[in-house]
């Protein structure tokens, strides 16, 4: 399959800690506006996973940023280099424990209030007060506001602080407006983006032009964002002109738009990994490494991605996708597809089929595992069903348990699963540091709440701890490669595949592009083509 030039690998240099000071320039894909009629209204079909617009709840800050409501101090360009956004510059102290950010004087909230360093301070402190996940990015001793300078004193050196603050969790909101009575969950936060919330339900979000936008013209008076969870329905809505652009057209439908002169397809190799977290706490079947290895070896991931998903995903192997330069091809997967090895490992672990029903058992207990999935991403139930079929061939009974996305994070933290599927952006902060920490660093007395799987390896922890304070890009890269190999050797998770990701738009609009950082869907750059 031939994809456009944006499918080239992202270079390591683009992921190194950067102090660059240029803005991302929209370079669009010639596409165009309201198929449904009005040139003043943009209609965008998406999968919505948010019950509320409270940015500190779950991962809902992603929605707030994707809808063009919220912005952060820094952002990522098309090679994942950190660029200024609400901050115009930053610097670090000689002891690597103090970061100073200069806030842009012209930045304003949508209600007209200026974005001061004091307002930014209040916003970041709000995140830490409301979301425990914040401390997995960094921990601070104090935050100060001196004029337009925001000063953050950290507990430990944070090599990539601008990248950490570019994560949507740290989008800047007007805390004063909340104190004045605004309900962020229902009404949306007062942010700094080109659009502001007019109304929100899980079924549909309506945005309106921010009259106080600080960074140029806002092309549309109104943006309608219907939630179209079914990918086939989303494709049909785009074809019929009910929407102007759609995010992530599924494998079975993308061919309808490629080569079609009415549409523009912007498709890239994403930074995402689809994986199944494996619960390996002592009271779980998968705590036995042999069983984990057998489970992974039974999965024909090449077939899943090249046949079942029609080449819209790359076969899984390692935690980090090959779109990032971390020696993907040189990593060794000891649990690559091998059905006979899987059977042998299960035999060695004492799991045999004693009653001839095709399912192995041990001590009177069947080899049965719950696989928790959510279906707002079309590929996830397909992966689960394929895994289920492959595991049955080696005598493992996989029960698929479909839940609402809003339960996934809580279930992951609480360890309420045998296997739990996830579609994860692996370089959410510019490189994989936060991703590796959150999912596999040992959770000691709640020190890492995102790791509810029970996975723990002291050697990997030591390398992660070194990575967390290392500033040298070459050394960071090598540590990440070594950490990945440890996870593969431990059968820490089942890495299923790496998606291509896309935005498909009518050629009545322009500049609808898919960024590697999956945060920037509705932007000020998307405009009528004429």
**Residue 149 burial (C-beta neighbours within 10 Å; 0-12, 13-18, 19+):** middle
- Please state which of the four CATH numbers 1.10.579.10, 3.40.190.10, 3.40.605.10, 3.10.105.10 is assigned to the domain occupying 272-499: 3.10.105.10
Q: What residues contact residue 323 under an 8 Å CB cut-off, 6+ apart?
A: 9, 10, 268, 269, 270, 271, 498, 516
Residue-wise pLDDT for 176-200, tens only, equals 999 999 999 999 999 999 999 999 9
Residue-wise pLDDT for 60-69, tens only, equals 999 999 999 9
- 132-141, 227-236, 479-488: which has the highest mean pLDDT? 479-488
Residue-wise pLDDT for 249-278, tens only, equals 887 788 899 999 999 999 998 999 999 999
pLDDT over threshold 50, residue 476: yes
pLDDT over threshold 90, residue 2: no
Instruction: Give the chain's mean pLDDT.
Output: 91
| Overall pTM > 0.85 | no
The 3-state secondary structure of 129-156 reads HHCHHHHHCCCEEEEEEECCEEEEEECC
What pLDDT was estimated at residue 252?
A: 78
What pLDDT was estimated at residue 255?
A: 87
What pLDDT was estimated at residue 360?
A: 98
The pLDDT of 350-375, averaged and rounded, is 96
Residue-wise pLDDT for 88-144, tens only, equals 999 999 999 999 999 999 999 999 999 999 999 999 999 999 999 899 899 999 999
What pLDDT was estimated at residue 10?
A: 38
- Copy the structure tokens of residue 314: 């790359």
- Copy the structure tokens of residue 247: 């995010």
The pLDDT of 368-392, averaged and rounded, is 93
Residue-wise pLDDT for 408-447, tens only, equals 889 999 999 999 999 999 998 999 999 999 999 999 988 8
- Please state which of the four CATH numbers 3.40.720.10, 3.40.640.10, 2.60.40.420, 3.40.190.10 is assigned to the domain occupying 5-262+507-528: 3.40.190.10
The pLDDT of 337-364, averaged and rounded, is 97
Integer CA distances (angstroms), 247 to 137, 221, 355, 499, 505, in order? 28, 21, 49, 13, 9
Residue-wise pLDDT for 294-318, tens only, equals 999 999 999 999 999 988 899 999 9
pLDDT over threshold 70, residue 37: no
C-beta separation of 394 from 298 below 8 A: yes
Asked if the domains at 5-262+507-528 and 272-499 fall in one CATH topology, the answer is no
Going from N- to C-terminal start, the domains of the chain cover 5-262+507-528, 272-499
What pLDDT was estimated at residue 38?
A: 59
pLDDT over threshold 70, residue 15: no
C-beta separation of 290 from 346 below 8 A: yes
């Amino acid at each position: 399959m031939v994809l456009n030039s944006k499918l080239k690998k992202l270079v390591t240099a683009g992921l190194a800690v950067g102090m660059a000071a240029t803005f991302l320039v929209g370079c669009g894909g010639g596409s165009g506006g309201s198929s449904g009629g009005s040139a003043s209204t943009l209609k965008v079909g998406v999968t919505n996973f948010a019950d509320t617009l409270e940015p500190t709840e779950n991962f809902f800050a992603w929605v707030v940023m994707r809808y063009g409501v919220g912005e952060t101090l820094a952002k990522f360009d098309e090679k994942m280099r950190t660029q200024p956004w609400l901050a115009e510059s930053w610097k670090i102290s000689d002891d690597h424990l103090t970061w100073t950010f200069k806030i842009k004087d012209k930045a304003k909230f949508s209600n007209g209030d200026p974005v001061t360093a004091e307002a930014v301070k209040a916003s970041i402190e709000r995140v830490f007060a409301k979301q425990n996940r914040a401390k997995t990015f960094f921990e601070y001793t104090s935050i100060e506001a001196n004029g337009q300078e925001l000063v953050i004193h950290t507990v430990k050196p944070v090599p990539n602080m601008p990248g950490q603050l570019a994560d949507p969790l740290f989008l800047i909101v007007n805390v004063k407006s909340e104190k004045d009575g605004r309900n962020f969950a229902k009404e949306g936060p007062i942010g700094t983006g080109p659009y502001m919330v007019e109304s929100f339900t899980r079924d549909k979000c309506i945005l309106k032009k921010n009259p106080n936008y600080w960074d140029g013209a806002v092309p549309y008076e109104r943006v309608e964002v219907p939630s179209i969870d079914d990918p086939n329905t989303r494709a049909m809505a785009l074809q019929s002109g009910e929407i102007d652009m759609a995010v992530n057209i599924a494998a079975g439908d993308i061919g309808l738009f490629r080569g079609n002169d009415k549409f523009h397809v912007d498709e890239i190799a994403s930074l995402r990994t689809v994986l199944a977290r494996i619960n390996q706490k002592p009271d779980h079947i998968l705590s036995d490494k042999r069983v984990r290895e057998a489970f992974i070896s039974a999965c024909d991931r090449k077939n899943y991605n090249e046949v079942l998903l029609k080449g819209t995903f790359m076969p899984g192997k390692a935690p980090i996708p090959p779109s990032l330069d971390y020696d993907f091809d040189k990593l060794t997967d000891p649990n690559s597809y091998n059905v006979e090895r899987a059977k042998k490992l299960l035999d060695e672990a004492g799991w045999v089929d004693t009653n001839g029903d095709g399912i192995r058992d041990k001590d009177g207990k069947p080899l049965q595992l719950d696989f928790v999935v959510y279906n707002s991403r079309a590929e996830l139930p397909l992966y689960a069903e394929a895994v289920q079929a492959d595991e049955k061939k080696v005598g493992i009974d996989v029960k698929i348990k479909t839940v609402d996305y809003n339960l996934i994070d809580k279930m992951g933290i609480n360890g309420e699963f045998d296997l739990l599927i996830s579609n994860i952006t692996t370089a959410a902060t510019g490189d994989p540091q936060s991703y590796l920490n959150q999912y596999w660093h040992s959770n000691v007395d709640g020190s890492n709440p995102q790791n509810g799987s029970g996975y723990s390896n002291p050697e990997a922890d030591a390398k992660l701890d070194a990575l967390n304070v290392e500033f040298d890009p070459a050394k960071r890269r090598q540590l990440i490669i070594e950490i990945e190999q440890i996870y593969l050797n431990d059968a820490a998770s089942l890495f299923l595949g790496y998606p291509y990701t896309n935005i498909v738009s009518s050629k009545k609009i322009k500049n609808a592009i898919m960024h590697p950082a999956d945060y920037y869907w509705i932007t000020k750059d998307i405009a009528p083509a004429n």
